[in-house]
Structure 1
Amino acid sequence: MALPPLATVADLEAAMRLDAGSLSTAQADLALRRASARVRSYTRQDITLVEDDTIDVPGGGRVLAVPQRPLVVDATHSLTVVEISVPGSVETTLTEDTDFTRLGNELTRGYPWYAPTRTMGWPWRQQQGVWAPTVRLTYSHGYAEVPDDIVDIVLDLASMNLSNPENLRSISIDDYARTFASETIGNATLTSGHKADLRPYKRSAFSVVPS
């Protein structure tokens, strides 16, 4: 499923101080898609709201951080957590506040209050208080409204692309000369300032397997 751009054509026209309808819709859409892809690639996040996403993530520790953030759990968005001890084995569906607790984007596996019974959802012989090797999550994540600082970066990149569509280093007409920023040549890329602003949204890399 293709994710939507992180800003709109109307936003882009406003950022470039252009009248509504001034930009070619096809060119503006392309610039926004390319800029959004840059941001998503760097942060490793979808950012926009995705509902009922199912993935398998590695367990093996006590705390499991969901790969896509923020985790959204409310009256219309549920969270389903299933442990898979061994591929092809019986799957165990866990209950929040009984088998695990949730704080922000982290799920912490609970300890049984007495042993060695099957409390807290743990089978016999499985290490207590630690997630199974594989955990299947069905959850919603992302922002219903894209944060302003991310929108600003996407608009900045898209504006760079549109300001120099022919990838010129400089132009000179009579006594007028203009030199373009290196970031606009060949496709606008994230600057060090952009990356610093995106750092709070970035997650570290680890493999997830779509279910």
Structure 2
Amino acid sequence: MATDDYLADPEELATWLGKPADDPKLLSALRAATRRFRGAVGHRVTLVADDVVTLDGTGRESVLLPVWPTTAVTRVVLDGQELTEGTDYSWSDAGLLRRLGCARWPDRLRCLTVTYSHGWAEVPEDIQEAVIDQARSMFTVVPGLQSQTVGAQSVTFGAQAAIGVTDQWSKAVARHKVRTSGDA
């Protein structure tokens, strides 16, 4: 797996853990945390070119594309007819696809097909931090273990180990998850 397939830098995780960046267990924890984040948000996070989605019409002027930031919209087809950017629709990097000329998107299911590029060229810091934090936990905490005693030493793991995610993780997932028309 290439380094750019991780949502955080192995070197940064290595610094936290005091291990070499090529340590197999460290890389496995980072890979697992990356997969877990991508699964939680429902998309790759990093830049995806020419993704094709079929969307429901909203009966409104705007439709929300599922993943942001939007970096390009190359094709919009409504009921089999290709529309023209600047005449029939416009779009924003926030993922809004707006009808132009007092028109609205029809209120019909699966009437709109959009080809667009989305995601981050550089992973946002909130995602990197959440993934590093999760990978650190995966590296150090035995799943399901809340406390451990060896001889006279006792270690109790925090609530994150018991519930599996931190508040930081939850906020990053909420911010970057796939959006639905109900989110608009």
Task: Using structure 2 for the length normalisation, give the TM-score.
Answer: 0.80
Write the distance in 1 (CA, Å) between the matches of 2:19 and 2:166: 28
- What are the equivalent positions in structure 2 for 1:114-133 lying under 5 Å apart? 129-132=103-106, 133=108
Q: Which moved more, 1:103-112 or 1:92-101?
A: 103-112
CA contact under 8 A between 1:46 and 1:68: conserved in structure 2?
Answer: no
For residue 97 of structure 1, what is the amino acid of its counterpart?
A: G
List runs of 5+ in structure 1 lacking aligned partners. Answer: 85-90, 113-128
Find out whether 1:194 has 2:184 as its counterpart: no
Q: CA deviation at 1:152?
A: 0.4
Write the distance in 2 (CA, Å) between the matches of 1:111 and 1:162: 55
The alpha-carbon distance between structure 1 residues 167 and 189, as it changes in their structure 2 partners (threshold 3 A), is closer
Find out whether 1:156 has 2:157 as its counterpart: no
Aligned equivalent of 1:60: 58
List runs of 5+ in structure 2 lacking aligned partners. Answer: none
Task: Using structure 1 for the length normalisation, give the TM-score.
Answer: 0.71
List structure 1 runs of 4+ shifted beyond 2 angstroms.
8-11, 27-30, 36-46, 165-169, 181-185, 188-194, 196-207
SS of match in other structure, 2:133: helix
The alpha-carbon distance between structure 1 residues 198 and 57, as it changes in their structure 2 partners (threshold 3 A), is same
For residue 130 of structure 1, what is the amino acid of its counterpart?
A: R
- What are the equivalent positions in structure 2 for 1:168-179 lying under 5 Å apart? 168-179=145-156
Write the distance in 2 (CA, Å) between the matches of 1:33 and 1:178: 26
For residue 70 of structure 1, what is the amino acid of its counterpart?
A: P
Write the distance in 1 (CA, Å) between the matches of 2:31 and 2:19: 21
More helix by share: 2
SS of match in other structure, 1:145: coil
